[in-house]
Amino acid sequence: MANANTEVAQDQGGLPQLNVIADGTYTNQIAWLLLTFLFLFFVVSRIVLPRVTKVLGEREENVANNLDTAERLKNEAEEVKAAYEAAVADARKKAQEIVLGAKDTIQADIAKAQSELDATLGAKAEEAEARIMKARDEALAGIDTVAAEVASEMVAKLAGVEAKEKTVADAVKAALDTAKGA
């Protein structure tokens, strides 16, 4: 009896894992393993993996597209920038040309006006000088007669001598020449 008891105890003891054939639970474990694993396999292979594959592909494509767009926009922006810089340089060059042209015109105008003014002023000055010279000559020519008259008058009044016109004129002339010579 004791022997039988220990055998029963040994049957029940030990790791349950190692008794699965004796107690017959291995069949239900494997059956449910098959069922659940197949279910999960179906879910994974039919639903989950296609979805993830699709979304990863889409993301990759999307990123590549975005990079392409960015590259294209960058190139466009650079083109626009180059065109803008060319336009600015062109405008600056034209403005400089206009400024230089205007300067030249103005300078030419100024020079022309100046020379006209100079010519007018020179002519007027010459004319005035000629007039002055003429007046002086006239005055100098008149002075002989006047001086002779004054001298004969003075002689008449002072010495009571009626001097000959010719004599007086000669004397005055001599005196004037002396004065001029001095």
Partner 1 sequence: MAHSPIEQFDVKPIAHFEIAGIDVSFTNSSLWMVLVVAFMSFFLIWGTRKNATVPGRMQVMVELMYSFIAGMIKDNVGKEGKQYFPFIFTLFVFILGLNLAGMLPYSFTVTSHIAVNFAMAIFIFLGVTLIGFIKNGAGYLKLFAPSGVPGWLLPLIVAIEVISYCTRPISLSVRLFANMLAGHIMMKVFAGFIVSMAAAGAAGMLGAIAPFAINVLLTGLEILVACLQAYVFTILTCIYLNDAMHPSH
For partner 1, which residue of 6, 7, 8, 45 counts as binding (CB under 8 A)? Answer: 45
What x-and-dash track marks residues 127-156 binding partner 1 by CB under 8 A? ------------------------------
The smaller minimum CB distance to partner 1, of residues 37 and 84, is found at: 37
DSSP for 87-152? HHHHHHHHHHHHHHHHHHHHHHHHHHHHHHHHHHHHHHHHHHHHHHHHHHHHHHHHHHHHHHHHHH
For partner 1, which residue of 11, 22, 44, 156 counts as binding (CB under 8 A)? Answer: 44
Nearest-approach distance from CB 80 to partner 1, in angstroms: 30
Nearest-approach distance from CB 87 to partner 1, in angstroms: 41
What x-and-dash track marks residues 46-65 binding partner 1 by CB under 8 A? -xxx-xx-xxx-xx--x---
Q: Does 22 bind partner 1 (CB under 8 A)?
A: no
CA-angle at 116, arms to 131 and 105, nearest 5°:
170
Nearest-approach distance from CB 71 to partner 1, in angstroms: 20
Structure-token pair, residue 175 = 């005196």
Separation of alpha carbons 36 and 108, rounded Å: 105
Separation of alpha carbons 171 and 175, rounded Å: 6
Cβ neighbours, 10 Å, residue 168: 19
Q: Which residues bind partner 1 (CB under 8 A)?
A: 12-13, 15-18, 20, 23-34, 36-37, 39-41, 43-45, 47-49, 51-52, 54-56, 58-59, 62
